[in-house]
Amino acid sequence: MRLFDSHAHIGLIHEDPIEQLIVVQEAKQAGVVGIVSICNSLRDFSTVYENLKSVSHVYHAVGVAPSEVTSPGRDWELKIEESVRLPRVVAIGETGLDYYRKFGDRDSQIELFIRQLELAEKFDLPVIIHNREAGKDVLEILREKLPPRGGILHCFSENWDFARKALELNLYISFAGNVTYRNARDLQEVARKIPLDRMLVETESPFMVPSVYRGKRNRPSYLAETVKFLAEIREESPEEIAEVTCQNALTFFRIAQ
């Protein structure tokens, strides 16, 4: 079956470029036909991009995460504008809001988020959205500022009421390994109810490892376990979940395969 990992921090799995190449080739052998590499910070984007630029099934997003709000770099907007012109850069992100870790202050996070939504519209790109304990503000901002290409609520962790409101917008909901955890009942309810044509899957490597691999660092080759779990709770086949979420990702990112 074909799988597409819509969110993986490949540069955090291994710093060594050879090890990074091994990880993405291992994933391909496991049926992962596409991976979106998320930069760990804007400063690291160029290094990871260069390491993987020869790998045709790895795509890239570029952006400033909320964790970088106090030090995005003086020329961060220019860096994004230069980077989105590179081959296989398919989205801006991850960007968003994180009130759990209290990175900087809320106003600064919101300003950084909105500016990147505006850049996504300028360059006709979708956005990959981080949301941690900031759902009310995230939705309010997206209602006003979501770019025409839409966005992904990555590593979704909200309840069905939030998901229902999000689905009124041009948003996909992406599930990571945390949906497999025994205490993730609200998240599992969302996974059962969401229309399959609005679902994506991701590893969020090296984090959020599926429960069957607990104790290990996550990697794109583990994506099938999340798909199998989703299939079980939705009473659908893993092949159908894999194929539809793969096609959803290809369509969303405008990738021809």
Residue 11's domain is classified under what CATH number? 3.20.20.140
Count how many residues are written for the chain.
257
pLDDT of residue 97: 97
Interior/surface letters 6-22, b for 16+ CB within 10 angstroms, e for the rest: bbbbbbbbbeeeeebbe
Amino acid 140: pLDDT: 98
pLDDT at 73: 84
Q: Is 130 marked as a binding-site residue?
A: yes
Of 128, 175, 177, 179, residue with least CA distance to 149: 128
Q: Is 7 annotated as a binding residue?
A: yes
The pLDDT value recorded for residue 102 is: 82
Instruction: Report the number of distinct structural domains present in the chain.
Output: 1
Tell me which residue range forms the domain holding 209: 3-253
Helices 223-234/185-193 angle, 10° precision: 70
E strand intervals along the chain = 3-8, 32-38, 58-62, 89-98, 127-132, 151-153, 171-175, 199-201
Residues of the chain where predicted confidence (pLDDT) is lower than 70: none
pLDDT computed for residue 74 by the predictor: 84
3-state secondary structure of 165: helix
How far apart are the C-alpha atoms of 60 and 112, rounded to whole Å?
Answer: 20
pLDDT for 101 equals 85
Q: Is 94 annotated as a binding residue?
A: yes
User: In the prediction, which pLDDT does 177 show?
Assistant: 98
Q: How much is the pLDDT for 126? A: 98
User: What's the farthest any 2 CA atoms get from each other in the chain?
Assistant: 50
Q: Is the pTM of this model over 0.85?
A: yes
